[in-house]
Structure 1
């Protein structure tokens, strides 16, 4: 599977389901191939007078990949565990992309102090509480236990708590934007682990360390808050033959360059996905 999160403002989003994450949430294609993600993106992208966030927003053309300076960050500059099988699949993918002619160097983003998902979660909690708080009060048993806990917390956060989370989001966006003044794209694992058993909310351990249920989502949220494009493509297999993902991110508006890099990665990494074929 290929999951593509476009730049905020690239695809109009004025109708449809209400959002828990206004100002961050986007319409994002999930497809079988990068080519299908590109087709869907080009069909959806553009300006719409009903969505002011699309007005004045311009998408750049895809730049030649051999001209791009690409950073590789195995842990995204975060103090977070990664399973060995994911780390190995990621390094194999990076080696193949480098052999294919991409200009790659090791570099971690420099995050503001205290930047982690916990600092941002009040925004998700209050968004869920806004949408579903009354329904939760009527009958909490109809909600998934993890979602119910988030709604309950959202109802308890203060305005100052939410303001601090908004500031953390802003500082993360500034850090990502600053990083992309030095690099054109960034590669990191999509998740620090492969899939876990479907009777659990999340993995219990990653890299041999006990973790919270959302520890699998450590590498993706910051690009949401940066309003930047990011795509996940398969890059190999971990334990039990489960797929590992490569995340390719770029600066806001560089969606087509991100897609072009993903198209190359999909081709170059195909032997890792089907070694017998």
Structure 2
């Protein structure tokens, strides 16, 4: 709401707060059916006993990606504390279809930006942020068949996640594979000892978005300089309230 959406059907309001309780308040204020919005939906009222939930920890979301040692070790430590507190956690990864990469779905974002801003870009590309300008230019070059192929890839990712959540209730992953980077940079220079590509910091969130799953990031630790990293918690589609209740319990455990 309030601006044109380039990634049709995937954009959401994403509140940021000091703790999960405030996020839950924001959720209850915003959630529910709105007759003016054909994509709005009711959300299940039920929540579950957190101790009884089936929880999976996936250190790399089943992807071949670099992760900083600080984040990898910090997540393992956090999961150990959650297990010691009585949560039932196993290590498991989603099984992705062949060719499931962020590159396979990015034509949707590029084409969406081009559809919204292509005419303005052709008149004066200098008014756009260089990264956005690059995406618009790429979007203008995609064929209809290539965009449709990205839709197919997006649907396949959603189906893979659906199969995974048939066996578990919650998924734990890193939010990003590195600690926070300087504000003046679009992304980190290095991740896991390797030079980082422009999207390397965002490897653990796009698939969740394409599957339209509720997710939350909570503080999990920091490096020696105090730069933080987060734990991403993901639930099955429509299980937002279960996610929030579990996140409050996990937050309380990690704060002790």
Category of TM-score, reference length = shorter chain = over 0.9
Of residues 46, 55, 79 in structure 2, which corresponds to 1:94? 79
Query: How does 1:112-131 map onto structure 2 within 5 Å?
Result: 112-131=97-116
Q: Which residue matches 2:167?
A: 182
Per-residue CA deviations over 1:45-101 (Å, capped at 9, x if unaligned) read 11112222225x442421110111000000000000100011111111111111111
Are the equivalent residues in 2 in contact too, given 1:85–1:239 (CA < 8 A)?
Answer: no
Of residues 264, 272, 275 in structure 1, which corresponds to 2:249? 264
Are the equivalent residues in 2 in contact too, given 1:69–1:104 (CA < 8 A)?
Answer: yes
Per-residue CA deviations over 1:106-128 (Å, capped at 9, x if unaligned) read 10000111111111111111111
Are the equivalent residues in 1 in contact too, given 2:43–2:239 (CA < 8 A)?
Answer: no
The runs of 4+ residues in structure 1 deviating greater than 2 Å are 52-55, 197-201
> Which has the higher mean CA deviation after the structures are superposed, 33-42 or 259-268?
259-268
Q: Which residue matches 1:45?
A: 31
- Mapped to 2, the partners of 1:239 and 1:147 lie a distance apart of 34
- Mapped to 2, the partners of 1:269 and 1:155 lie a distance apart of 46
SS at match of 2:171: strand
Is 2:12 the partner of 1:17? no
Q: Which residue matches 1:9?
A: none
Give the superposed CA RMSD. Answer: 1.3
Unaligned segments of structure 1, at least 5 residues: 1-14, 272-277
Of residues 8, 11, 18 in structure 2, which corresponds to 1:32? 18
- Mapped to 2, the partners of 1:198 and 1:116 lie a distance apart of 27
Are the equivalent residues in 2 in contact too, given 1:236–1:269 (CA < 8 A)?
Answer: no
- Mapped to 2, the partners of 1:238 and 1:164 lie a distance apart of 40
- Mapped to 2, the partners of 1:230 and 1:187 lie a distance apart of 10
TM-score, length-normalised on structure 2? 0.96
- Mapped to 1, the partners of 2:46 and 2:82 lie a distance apart of 22
Query: How does 1:1-277 map onto structure 2 within 5 Å?
Result: 15-55=1-41, 57-271=42-256
Aligned residues: 256
- Mapped to 1, the partners of 2:186 and 2:32 lie a distance apart of 37
Are the equivalent residues in 2 in contact too, given 1:60–1:253 (CA < 8 A)?
Answer: no
Unaligned segments of structure 2, at least 5 residues: none
Per-residue CA deviations over 1:164-221 (Å, capped at 9, x if unaligned) read 1000000000000110000000000000011223333222221112231110000001
Summarize the Cα distance change of 1:170–1:239 in structure 2 as closer, same or farther, 3 Å threshold.
farther
Are the equivalent residues in 1 in contact too, given 2:174–2:204 (CA < 8 A)?
Answer: yes
- Mapped to 1, the partners of 2:170 and 2:69 lie a distance apart of 24
- Mapped to 1, the partners of 2:184 and 2:39 lie a distance apart of 39
TM-score, length-normalised on structure 1? 0.89
SS at match of 1:182: coil
- Mapped to 2, the partners of 1:100 and 1:136 lie a distance apart of 54
Cα displacement (A) at 1:239: 4.5
